[in-house]
Amino acid sequence: MTETFARQRQTQARIAAELGEIGFALPGSLVWRTTACGRSGCHCQDDPPVLHGPYLTWTRTVAGKTVTRKISEDQQVRYQAWFDNARKLHRLVSELEALSLQTFDLLEGSNKRGSRPQEE
C-alpha cells in the first residue's frame, strides 16, 4: 500500500506542478456560426437562405446563463492559449479528483458502509 500511495503522491505533485504553470484561462467554446437576421427581403430569408457570416463566437456560461460574444480572428490568435489553458485546467482538475477518489479508497478501503476496513 505504501508503494502505491507514494506513486499517487508523485502523480498529485505532477498535477500540482502543471496547475502552477497555467496562465490565464478563458472558459467556454469558440464556434463558427452563421445566422439569419429576420429582416424581410434579406437574402437570409430567401429559399434557400443565404445566411450571414460565418462569425467566430465565444460561448460560455455566466451565472447559469449562456453568454455569446463575437470575436475577431485576431482576438482568437491572441487568446487561443487562454482557451487552451482552460481546457488543460479542466483536464487536470478531473485527473486530480479521480486520483483523490482512488487514494481515498486505498487509504480507507472501498467499504460501502463508510467504516474503516479490518487490519489484518
pLDDT tens digits for 98-109? 999 999 999 998
pLDDT for position 109: 85
What's the pTM value of the predicted model, to 2 decimals? 0.77
User: For residues 21 and 15, what is the distance between their CA atoms, to the nearest angstrom?
Assistant: 10
Asked if the model's pLDDT at residue 69 lies above 90, the reply is yes
Question: Do you find a cis peptide bond into 54, omega within 30 degrees of 0?
Answer: yes
pLDDT band, residue 112 (cuts 50/70/90): low
Map grid coordinates 503522491 to a residue.
Answer: 9
| Nearest in space to 85 (alpha carbons), one of 11, 27, 16 | 27
